[in-house]
Amino acid sequence: KSQLTYGARASTHPNPLARKLFQVAEAKKSNVTVSADVTSTKELLDLADQLGPYIAVIKTHIDILTDFGPQTIAGLQALAQKHNFLIFEDRKFIDIGNTVQKQYHGGTLRISEWAHIINCSILPGEGIVEALAQTAQAMDFPYGADRGLLILAEMTSKGSLATGPYTAASVDYARKYPSFVLGFVSTRSLGEVPATVAASADEDFVVFTTGVNLSSTGDKLGQQYQTPQSAVGRGADFIIAGRGIYAAPDPQEAARQYQQQGWEAYVARVGGAQ
């Protein structure tokens, strides 16, 4: 479905949160997710407010904040309302079902109460997807329609082992839990991966691609980058940039630049129909 416009995908997608995601992208003409990997609440909220107009999603690593508290979440939620963006907590759950349910719902971070989108590795097997879906779709959980999961199907770090059968199983599990799985974090569209479970006719998984940077090809710890054009060309629906934006001399200007390039690449992909 990556040849279709976000607007078209928003109108037909079976998943309410995916619809919202595409609506936000269309309304703001942005497919940028900023990875706000800063370590204080003030920096996070300042960044969210400054960059809010240019992004569709903010991605957090909430556990790297030194001063996390209720004010962090209240602030983030107010800015998400103000600027019309969604919140993605990049927690990368990876444990047995019983444990991830407790990490997702409750605990210190109360992720289920504020993160529209979460992600997990499927290294533990299918049960991790089932467990997270069960929590988000429980009868007494009030945010069900507004919660979704991305499966971490590939990684951008050098020598990543998230390849081959692991990536194929990621597609299988997404197909088994389509009411909760929005799509993937991957470096490309996974439609051609040799999965076991067949695709449904209305399948439209959303692809988020990390490791996007305009001015660097990698870092000293094995991160590997591609450009917005390359990512969107390979099937990314949302490009995720961290240091390329927040560590730029002028983060707002950088966000504008990623927004423009990401959007141009998307318009080219859908045949210039915008």
List 2, 15, 30, 35, residue binding ligand UP6 (CB under 6 A): 35
Give the active site residue among 20, 90, 204, 237: 90
Q: How far is the CB of 224 from ligand UP6 (least distance, A)?
A: 9
Please state the closest distance from residue 59 (CB atom) to ligand UP6, in A.
6
C-alpha 207/C-alpha 236 separation (Å) is 5
CB of 127 to ligand UP6, least distance (A): 22
Q: What is the dihedral of CA 156, 136, 2, 228, to 10 degrees?
A: -40
Indicate which residue of 1, 29, 46, 92 is catalytic: 92
223 among the known binding-site residues?
A: yes
| DSSP summary character for residue 226 | B
User: What percentage of the chain's residues is helix, strand, coil (to nearest 5)?
Assistant: 45, 15, 40
Among residues 178, 235, 242, 251, the one that binds ligand UP6 under rule CB under 6 A: 242
**What DSSP letter does each residue of 7-57 carry, written as one string?**
HHHHHH-SSHHHHHHHHHHHHHT--EEEE---SSHHHHHHHHHHHGGG-SE
Ranges of beta strands (E only) in 53-194 are: 57-60, 86-93, 117-120, 148-152, 181-185
In the range 42-101, which residues lie near ligand UP6 by CB under 6 A? Answer: 61, 90
Residues that bind ligand UP6 (CB under 6 A): 35, 37, 61, 90, 155-156, 185, 210-211, 213, 223, 240-244
Annotated binding-site members? 37, 59, 156, 223, 242-243
Catalytic residue list: 90, 92, 95
Annotated binding-site members for substrate? 37, 59, 156, 223, 242-243
